[in-house]
Amino acid sequence: EAQVTQNPRYLITVTGKKLTVTCSQNMNHEYMSWYRQDPGLGLRQIYYSMNVEVTDKGDVPEGYKVSRKEKRNFPLILESPSPNQTSLYFCASSLILPRGRTEAFFGQGTRLTVV
Amino acid sequence: AQTVTQSQPEMSVQEAETVTLSCTYDTSENNYYLFWYKQPPSRQMILVIRQEAYKQQNATENRFSVNFQKAAKSFSLKISDSQLGDTAMYFCAFMKLNKFYFGSGTKLNVKP
């Protein structure tokens, strides 16, 4: 079954304590990305990766890091979390198929609270 | 930059009736994709329907259909025979080169 798996689903942490949210996909997609969802703002892209060792900033990258050492994994790292990073986070992977079609999958979401 | 606007923060509909959710977008691109996603209380993002911009025919998936007006940059979602399980947040999204741009969402409440 095609899927994107995020862990953990829920996380409460304290300001300044480094954390990592993992993301793994089993579809051999080259493109992966992270989004955060905030009320009234929809989902906004944090970082993306077009392939192994190729990452770039999205629209709201401040305070986040990513890495892409393997094609299937794309972890999101918060070196020093702050309360304004309290949000719902989604990992996504996608692929543009022949004949103009596309497939895209989202993880289950990670609810992060920083106190 | 691409923007997506959902002007209805919240809507209600009676069970078995039809409801239409509005979405407009702004882009200078010609080839792109449009999506509607459903987000129930579980927070999972569930694909409802997808439209390729190069296709003139409106996409349909069972009770869900879209009215895609490319020149007007409009992409509304019609839900027929609404069911209680349709209660959720609905997001309209634009995708170009694998990047999504989302609207702010419409909260749909289906009443028994």
For B68-110, what is each residue's pLDDT tens digit? Answer: 999 999 999 999 999 999 999 999 999 988 899 999 999 999 9
- Cβ pairs A/B, distance under 8 A: 57
Does B83 reach chain A within 8 Å, measured CB to CB? no
Smallest CA-to-CA distance from B8 within B89, B112, B100 is with B89
Does B64 reach chain A within 8 Å, measured CB to CB? no
How close, in Å, is residue B43 to chain A by CA atoms?
7
Which of A37, A74, A87 to probe the B interface (max B CBs under 10 A)? Answer: A37
Q: Which of A53-57, A93-97, B10-14 has the lowest mean pLDDT?
A: A93-97
What average pLDDT does range A66-95 have in this prediction?
97
Name the residue in chain A with its Cα closest to that of B33: A102
Q: How many CB atoms lie within 10 A of CB B43?
A: 15
Percent of chain B past pLDDT 90, that is, above it, reads 90
Q: How far apart are CA B20 and CA A20, in angstroms?
A: 40
Does B7 reach chain A within 8 Å, measured CB to CB? no
Contacts of B104 in chain A (CB under 8 A): 40-42
